[in-house]
Amino acid sequence: MSAAEREFEGKVALITGASRGIGRAVALRLARGGAKLALGYAANDAAANEAKALCEQAGAPRAELFKFDVADAAACAQAADDVLAAFGGLDVLVNNAGISIDGLILRYKPADLEKTLQTNLASAFHLSKAAARAMLRKGGAIVNVTSVVGEMGNAGQSAYAMAKAGLIGLTKSLARELGSRAIRVNAVSPGFVETDMTLELPEAAKSAMVANTALARVGTADEIAEAVAFLASGRASYITGEVLRVNGGLYM
C-alpha cells in the first residue's frame, strides 16, 4: 500500500450525495486513505447504508450517516453542527450533491429553477460557510464538484449549467477569501461519466457525447474520485482556486 493511499488518516471528511455515484466513489477513495467519513445523503436509506458498509470495508476507521436536504439552508447548518459534534472537527468538505432538471428555457418552471439552484449551488455556499468556520484554526480543503456543462453550456440544461458555472465562481472567490487561513478551495469538473443521472439520458445524446470526447469513451466515478482525492490531499498543498477538468477531452 502506497503512502498516498493512507494520506487521510486522522482526517474527517464530509461528502454530500455520498450514497451513490460520484459521491460514493469519493467516499470509498477517502476511506481507503484512512479518513473518518461523514456521509451526507438526501433520501435513499438503503443506498446510504450500503455506502457506509462499503466504506468501513474499504478501511474507514469510522463512517457515519447524516440525512439532510442540501437545498435547505437551515438543514445544511444543522448537519455541519452535527458532524462537528460527532467527530470533533472537519478537515475536508466535498460538495458533490446535485440534481439535473432538464428542459428548454421557454417551458422551464420557476420552481424547478429554484430547486436546481438551491441543491447544486446554494448548498455549497452554506456548507462551505460552516466548514470554513470549523477549519479556521488548522486549515483544510474544500472540493466542489462542478460539470463540463457549467463550462461549455448545453441546450436544454440552462438551469443546471448556471448552477454549475456558479460553483466555479464560488470556488475561485472562496479560494481568495480563505487562502490566508490555509483553507484551499478547488473544483473538479467531470465530463460524461457513468452515473444514475446520466443513465437517464437518451441513447442518441450519450453517443453524441462519446463521439465528441477525445478519448472516445465515458468516464467512471472512480476516475473523478481520484481527482477529488488529489485536490483534498497534501499532494495539492499549493493548489487553490483551480478547476481540474476530468472530461476525457470533451472540452479543452
Positions annotated as catalytic residues are: 160
Contact by Cβ (8 Å): 192, 103: no
Cα–Cα dist 60/53, whole Å:
10
Q: How far is CA 184 from CA 17, 144, 212, in A?
A: 21, 11, 33
In 10 A of CB 182, how many CB atoms?
15
Q: How many residues does the chain have?
A: 252
| All three cell numbers of 249 | 477531452
Start-end of H helices in the chain:
21-32, 45-58, 73-87, 110-117, 123-135, 148-152, 158-178, 196-199, 203-211, 221-232
Q: How far is CA 46 from CA 38, 41, 50, in A?
A: 16, 11, 6
Of the candidates 160, 79, 47, 42, the residue with the CA atom closest to the CA atom of residue 55: 47
Cα–Cα dist 24/63, whole Å:
12
